[in-house]
């Protein structure tokens, strides 16, 4: 039995080839933001309430109409088959068993339809996409998400160009191993084979409007950090936001996500999620106190997958669930909805 998420990271480091571990673990440039995401949580202190007499806690909440058992969703991460042969299929089964949302990556090594089948009826599945330069390709991807039963589209908006990840360049990791592909990019636009994912340097609000016109699915924008952008997003009809800096993999020296969460959450009336650096149940409670409806985890899922396949992902989620439940009990909260801003403050040096 593992006692913390960090123990799964150590197992993953031991079991993965160097290039694969570094791909999952690495960030952009000097990895300042990568470190800041985690360090920012240590600057926040919890201020517990006592003598409230709650025998049990309710960890459940609702996101875009779906009831989930815990306020932790699986953020989109690429190439799960680098971590384990079953890849995203194993991750989907673990997410379904935990009763939470899996946001499948556009860069999955298993097609979204097969992810949905692996998770079964209990899986709440969303698909993350990058808007493509050719609108026909984007439209086909949206159609595949709809056919798979996805309940939302999560549009990554912090990547008009790729960040530079020096670990990947140092390791010479530029292509997936033989037999492994970005399966969602297969056979699109009337062409056989697997297309590359392309970034759109001119990405704008017009693209969000065009995407909304393609589908009736709720649209969530992932990668916003500024309250003004959040307000604009709501004006364009989006249903939710994910405060994210791409796990420190895009713009280095960008602010830690937890540091900007409250400003975004207070500016809008739609559900706001946050990811980046969440390693403990107390981190989750801090995020809830600052306005998050739920949090996303990325690397911990991959560590669990690399360590023990789908069982490892389940163990990571179970660990976090136990820690959240304990943190709620110790802060005097009967449910995640009782976590309020007065329960957290910035620690003084």
**Binding site annotation covers 76?**
yes
* Average pLDDT of the chain to the nearest whole number: 97
Active-site pick, 54, 80, 84, 246? 246
Q: Is the pLDDT of residue 136 over 70?
A: yes
pLDDT band at 349 (very low <50, low <70, confident <90, very high): low
Compute the Cα dihedral for 212, 217, 221, 222 and give only its sign. Answer: negative
Residue 299 counted as an annotated binding residue? yes
pLDDT of 348 higher than 70? no
- Whole-number pLDDT of residue 174: 92
> How far is Cα 346 from Cα 349, in angstroms, rounded to an integer?
9
DSSP state of 186: B
- Answer for the pair 39, 271: CB distance below 8 angstroms, yes or no: no
165 is an annotated ligand-binding site residue: yes
What is the four-CA torsion angle of 79, 84, 88, 90, rounded to 10 degrees? -170
The pLDDT assigned to 141 comes to: 98
169 assigned to active site: no
Please write the tens of the pLDDT for every residue from 177-195: 999 999 999 999 999 999 9
Is 167 annotated as belonging to a binding site? Answer: no
pTM as predicted: 0.97
Give the domains, in start order, of the chain with CATH numbers: 5-343 (3.20.20.70)
**189 annotated ligand binder:** no
């Amino acid at each position: 039995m593992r006692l913390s998420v960090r123990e799964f990271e150590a197992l993953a480091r031991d079991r993965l080839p160097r290039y694969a571990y570094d791909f999952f673990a690495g960030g952009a440039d000097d990895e300042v933001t990568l470190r800041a995401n985690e360090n920012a949580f240590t600057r926040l202190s919890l201020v517990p309430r006592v003598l409230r007499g709650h025998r049990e806690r309710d960890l459940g909440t609702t996101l875009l109409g779906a009831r989930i058992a815990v306020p932790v969703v699986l953020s989109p991460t690429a190439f799960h088959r680098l971590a384990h042969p079953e890849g995203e299929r194993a991750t989907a089964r673990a997410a379904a068993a935990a009763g939470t949302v899996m946001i499948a990556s556009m860069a999955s090594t298993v097609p979204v339809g097969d992810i949905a089948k692996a998770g079964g009826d209990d899986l709440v599945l969303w698909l993350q996409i990058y808007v493509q330069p050719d609108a026909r390709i984007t439209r086909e991807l949206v159609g595949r998400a709809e056919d798979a039963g996805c309940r939302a589209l999560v549009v990554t908006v912090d990547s008009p160009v790729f960040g530079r990840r020096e670990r990947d360049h140092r390791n010479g990791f530029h292509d997936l191993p033989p037999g492994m592909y970005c399966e969602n990019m297969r056979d699109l636009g009337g062409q056989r084979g697997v297309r590359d994912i392309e970034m759109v340097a001119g990405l704008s609000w017009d693209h969000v409007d065009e995407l909304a016109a393609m589908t009736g699915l709720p649209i969530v924008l992932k990668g916003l950090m500024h309250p003004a952008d959040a307000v604009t997003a709501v004006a364009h009809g989006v249903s939710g936001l994910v405060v994210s800096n791409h796990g420190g993999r895009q713009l280095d020296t960008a602010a830690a996500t937890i540091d900007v969460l409250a400003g975004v959450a207070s500016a809008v009336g739609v559900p706001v999620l946050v990811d980046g650096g969440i390693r403990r149940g107390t981190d989750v409670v801090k995020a809830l106190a600052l306005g998050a409806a739920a949090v996303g985890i990325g690397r911990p899922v991959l560590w669990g997958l690399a360590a023990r396949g789908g069982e490892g992902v389940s163990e990571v989620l179970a660990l976090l669930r136990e820690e959240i439940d304990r943190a709620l009990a110790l802060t005097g909260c009967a449910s995640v909805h009782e976590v309020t801003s007065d329960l957290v403050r910035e620690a003084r040096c």
